[in-house]
Structure 1
Amino acid sequence: MDINALISWLLEKSARSAGSAGSAERSIIRFGRRRDYLRIAALCSEASRRQPLPQGLKPLPLIDAISCPIGAARLHDAPPGWLSRIRLEPDMPAAVHAAPRRSTVGLTKGLPWGVEAIKAPAAWRRTTGHRVRVGVIDTGVDAAHPDLRGSLARGINLLSRGTPPHDDNGHGTHIAGTIAAANQPGGMIGVAPRASIFPVKAFDHNGSAYVSDIVLAIEWCVRNRMHLINMSFGMKTRSKALLGAVRQATAAGVLIVASSGNAGRRKAIDYPARYPQTISVGATNRLRRIPPFSNRGSYIDIYAPGDKITSAWVGGSYHEMSGTSMATSHVSGAVALLLAAYPGLGPAAIKTILRRSMQPLRGPRAPRLTGELDVAKMLRTADRLLQ
């Protein structure tokens, strides 16, 4: 079985597909043998030195796979012998988890209600998230926002390599503000105001990305030693490629905090939050009840404020948004506070501390086996378990 024949076939097929108008199908090819992947990746690198690879054809080193702009059905005529050595799956789209926004003109910024509700201010004399590295896989971040300039580290734009991870949507800036806004005069303060946000732009101006983009984003976070990753997005369909990336990140000690989705479902949540390796987050409102939009049920690990949340926005402004995305950023900020107080905690220990420190939710139909984030109680629980 000639690996050179496979790469030639892939390059030809990818070039033809990438040049086809209206073609949006993409696939992920995972290799059962690591040596096969390494050889393919080396041949791709060699080919790229002669001319740019077709758009959409790229190695995914974290999971020994490549993505290509070819529909899975068209991959079944691969060179003889290769179908038994590869696994194919569609490169599926994902979307950010947030409801329509509105400007916060006339609304209070300062200390947002969600940051206060989870009792983050009670922790700031002890921990502010200093030196904790948070990867935010999203639409980018507005680096010029006055409340974020002191919190941002250099990230990456995976959609346009070599250009800054500028936010052309607003969602990523909103998430970053809740995690680590630094309370400039007239601005707002986030949950962990001295944590470092590393923006990883994998989502476009519409708030959409492919699984392959997300896998590359996770790989970048692992390689650049993030302590945790905020994933305020999801999709309804399970992806083995994304699961593989999540497993690799967890094995490397990187915690993933993921939003459960906004479909109001009671027995299912979106991926990647549904993977057991993540901390899956549902939303609450000011009354500590679950709003109708939030997914809920046994797959949720913890709830946090996600209804009518004011945070930073592109252009130095502020907007109010609702969604499990907003809830997830509160949990990521809380984990940053915990890791600054107890460096070296692994994903399993963090999940245990969060589960043992939740406040009960309100309402006659509120779940009894999980609850809402409480930062003060989280730190007391960590003290009891770790000291």
Structure 2
Amino acid sequence: MTITASICGESITRLVLRDAGHSVMQMRSRERAVLFATLLLSVLLVSNVAITAIHSSAPKTRYVNAIIMFKPGVDVDVAGIDIIHEYRNLNGIAARIPVFLYNMLEHAWFVSSIQLDHEMSILQDTLDWGVDDVDAEQVWGGAEDAVDVVQGNVDGSGVKVAILDTGIDYTHPDLDDVYAGGYDFVDDDSDPKDGNGHGTHCAGIVAAEDNGEGVIGVAPHASIYAVRVLNNWGSGSTSDIIAGIDWAIDNGMDVISMSLGGGDYDQAFDDAIDRAYDAGIVVVAASGNDGKGTISYPAAYDNAIAVGAIDSDHNLADFSNYGPEQEVVAPGVDIYSTMPTYTVTLNYWFMGGYSQNYDRMSGTSMATPMVAGVVALILSANPDLTPPEVRDILHTTSVDLGSAGWDQYFGYGEVNAKAAVDEAGGGTPPDTTPPAKVTGLTTETLSHTEIKLTWDANTEEDLDHYNVYRDG
């Protein structure tokens, strides 16, 4: 038996199985196009309030590195595939293949197993560029590029963050210890398990654990709550989202993070956010991914903090909305965070082909939990702050971008965790010990331009340097 996978150019033209005991199977490009159009139409028909994570309407072919093991007795001819390894003692290969071929091979009768080629390294957390850019690690790690929480530093402890989204993979090794509960308003039960992937990605940005593996979030010791208000396709009803806000109020949340948007002004939705704000909850929401000068609801409501996205060059992301309600911005391009450890909607090629466990995503959806995490650090430093006070701290400590002062593109600028926590009163207290007196001071004139000073050595253990001033 011979299995031949033929590749032409950048995309698969057919997958042909040649065997005397099995019929020939082919999937032509036109058939795949019809399949994709049908699936895409089914997604659009269920949309009501859609999540704002950016997805292309005509996704480009994505490739992944995969390890493919074949069943005993299968003779493999892999002409045209980008082979990384052909194993001699195992009946299998490692190869770079299109995501849609990966999904087909998961169900192929001749494949015993297929898995992504995961990266392994020394055991330490990965510091995403966005978490680094807002200086979160300087708060809990005490230094630039730190990847470990220093005991006693502000780290999000004691703060409850409700993530209103598609749910959370609460079994993920980077989330299981910070996950504290939640509710599923889509299925009306107490199991808010993520079937999409978007909510898990947002959760990791907020509070992925300091556990020596994977990634680390903005506030790695905050408590996260999964409030599932969007279904597995990433859409949901306004009524479910309002119910989620209602739940957050009843359960004493400190922060609400909403990476979702759509629809027009809704009085009940606006009222729900007002109630949360009055109850002491800081509400953070995504500005939207349409690349236009209109902020999406719910971010446009008065008592929600509207968050835009920037790239690593501190430019407004080309997809980020902007407008008069824009309050702050945060990193939102190629953000590396947690993904469910099991198969979900976003793993399929027609939904982007994202990896399990960890992957990069872009959108104001990613910028929003960055800000929610910074808010968690602020409240961890000073739990007595009110939502208006937290908002004011964000305004005054953000790094100004674009035109001087507030502008409709960057708002007050990029949030900065270190400056915000210091302003909240939770930074390293300044050294108020007065300098020791200099004793035994003698002078010796060496020339008309030189003088020699001598004094007794100081015995302070933390002495760093001496300052010598000339008076007159």
What amino acid maps onto 1:356 in structure 2? T
1 or 2, which has the higher helix percentage? 1
The CA distance in 2 between the partners of 1:323 and 1:278, in whole Å, is: 18
The CA distance in 1 between the partners of 2:120 and 2:134, in whole Å, is: 20
Larger Rg: 2
Q: Is the 8 A contact 2:196 2:232 kept in 1?
A: yes
* Correspondence for 1:313: 339
1 or 2, which has the higher strand percentage? 2
Structure 2 residue corresponding to 1:194, chosen from 207, 221, 239: 221
Q: Is the 8 A contact 2:309 2:317 kept in 1?
A: yes
Q: Does 1:112 align with 2:131?
A: no
The CA distance in 2 between the partners of 1:158 and 1:139, in whole Å, is: 10
TM-score normalised by the chain length of structure 2 = 0.59
| Deviation (angstroms), 1:131 | 1.3
Q: Is the 8 A contact 1:353 1:381 kept in 2?
A: yes
Report the 3-state secondary structure (helix = DSSP H, G, I; strand = E; otherwise coil) of the residue aligned with 2:315: coil
* Correspondence for 2:446: none
Structure 1 residue corresponding to 2:423, chosen from 373, 381, 384: 381
The CA distance in 1 between the partners of 2:54 and 2:119, in whole Å, is: 20
The CA distance in 2 between the partners of 1:368 and 1:138, in whole Å, is: 25
* Correspondence for 1:97: 52
Instruction: State the identity %.
Output: 38
Give every structure 1 segment of 4 or more consecutive aligned residues whose post-TM-superposition deviation is greater than 6 Å: 101-104, 363-366
Q: Does 1:355 align with 2:395?
A: yes
The CA distance in 2 between the partners of 1:105 and 1:278, in whole Å, is: 39
Q: Does 1:234 align with 2:261?
A: yes
* Correspondence for 1:285: 311
| Deviation (angstroms), 1:216 | 0.4
Report the 3-state secondary structure (helix = DSSP H, G, I; strand = E; otherwise coil) of the residue aligned with 2:189: coil
Structure 2 residue corresponding to 1:121, chosen from 132, 137, 159: 137
| Deviation (angstroms), 1:105 | 5.7
Structure 1 residue corresponding to 2:247, chosen from 220, 223, 234: 220
Q: Is the 8 A contact 2:184 2:191 kept in 1?
A: yes
Report the 3-state secondary structure (helix = DSSP H, G, I; strand = E; otherwise coil) of the residue aligned with 1:304: strand
What do residues 332-353 of structure 1 show as CA deviations (whole Å, max 9, x unaligned)?
A: 0000001011002111111100
| Deviation (angstroms), 1:272 | 0.6
* Correspondence for 2:91: none
Q: Does 1:371 align with 2:419?
A: no
Matches within 5 A, 1:73-88: none
* Correspondence for 2:210: 183
Report the 3-state secondary structure (helix = DSSP H, G, I; strand = E; otherwise coil) of the residue aligned with 1:155: strand
Structure 2 residue corresponding to 1:302, chosen from 323, 328, 334: 328
| Deviation (angstroms), 1:160 | 1.9
- Pick which of 163-172 and 361-370 moved more: 361-370
Q: Is the 8 A contact 1:148 1:180 kept in 2?
A: yes
What do residues 77-128 of structure 1 show as CA deviations (whole Å, max 9, x unaligned)?
A: xxxxxxxxxxxxxxx9211111239779669971111000000011105210
How many positions carry a matched residue from both structures?
297
- Flag the 1:367–1:96 CA change in 2: closer, same or farther, 3 A: closer
What do residues 54-90 of structure 1 show as CA deviations (whole Å, max 9, x unaligned)?
A: xxxxxxxxxxxxxxxxxxxxxxxxxxxxxxxxxxxxx
Q: Is the 8 A contact 1:152 1:198 kept in 2?
A: yes
Runs of 5+ unmatched residues, structure 2: 1-41, 57-61, 65-116, 141-149, 342-355, 430-472
Matches within 5 A, 1:140-159: 140-159=167-186
What amino acid maps onto 1:262 in structure 2? N
The CA distance in 2 between the partners of 1:257 and 1:178, in whole Å, is: 14
